[in-house]
Amino acid sequence: MEFTAAQIAGFLKGTVEGNPDVTVSNLAKIDDGTPGTLTFLANPKYTPFIYTTGSSIIVVNEDFIATQVVPGTLIRVADAYSSFATLLEMFDQSKTGATGISPHTVVATSALLGENISIGDFSVISKDVTIGKNVIIHPQVFIGNNVTIGDETVIYPGVKIYHDSIIGHRCTLHSGVVIGSDGFGFAPIAGNNYQKIPQLGNVILENDVEIGSNTTIDRATLGSTIIRRGVKLDNLIQVGHNAEIGENTVVAAQTGISGSTKIGKNCMIGGQVGIVGHITIADNVKIGAGSGVEASITRNGAMMLGAPAIEINKARRNFIHWRNLDEIVRKVYSIEKKLNNLHE
């Protein structure tokens, strides 16, 4: 599908500088743009490429000042980065290939399906499932009994959603996501054996949640594991039973969140962070990659780093000492030797 500069400027509420009738049909990076593509400039580091890019249209900030002739047509907007993200979303939606319900899909007679939905090959929609309007379900998805899925949600191939889970509006679940598998609940019994504790709760994803590939969110033992509105989880994350993640919190890949942990809103958690169970993390907290959180973080806006995680400024000072540890030890041995000589 082709768009003119004038159409794109209208969509982004921007202004055209150049040919308003030039058309594009794809997007490109500014350093390898070709005719017929659209690109953007937000990071000043890439400014030299705006004078050499082959892209037909370049989205720039309103305050951009050219020092040379720009070969393409400019669209000036308030925020080039967010505007380009909007265009990426628009192009992505145009490529979803939604084609209705495949004849190779199994849909229970008791399932309630909304308007304008797409269900791909070899997916299973179980009993008493409710699916909202404009939902896209890709091939080989399993949706268990009594699951609710909100409007405009997209579920990619291979996702498994266990029974009683609730998925909100405009959520995105990438390939391999598992929602509602049993929490890790086992009681020790005689003979070094373990008795499984039935997991009778569910998982709730509120609106506008995005879950990365192969992330798993366990169902609660009782009650609900809750992922609040606007949360973004990266790939390969484990969320334990009865955990709660506050709204607009983002978590990077390979992080493990143990059961019954409560994370506040607007938090930022780096990759490979380990968080123990039954603790609370305040709002607006930032936790650096590779950290181990073993106790509650109660200060709003705290910045933590290390294993165990401590306040970031203290952690950085400790790291400086750690890098010099060998030299410090040699100095201590030297002082100790001199003291021993004086004593003798």
Interhelix angle for 312-323 vs 325-343, to 10°? 60
The 10 Å Cβ neighbour count of residue 319 is 12
Tokens coding 209: 């949640």
Closest CA to 210 of 225, 230, 226, 181: 230
- In angstroms, the CA 127 to CA 136 distance is 19
Dihedral Cα 274, 277, 279, 282, nearest 10 deg: 40
241 is catalytic: yes
User: What is the spatial distance between Cα 143 and Cα 161, in angstroms, rounded to a whole number?
Assistant: 5
The secondary structure of residue 297, as a DSSP letter, is B
Q: Name the catalytic one among 104, 241, 278, 343.
A: 241
CB atoms within 10 A of CB 225: 29
Active-site residue numbers?
Answer: 241
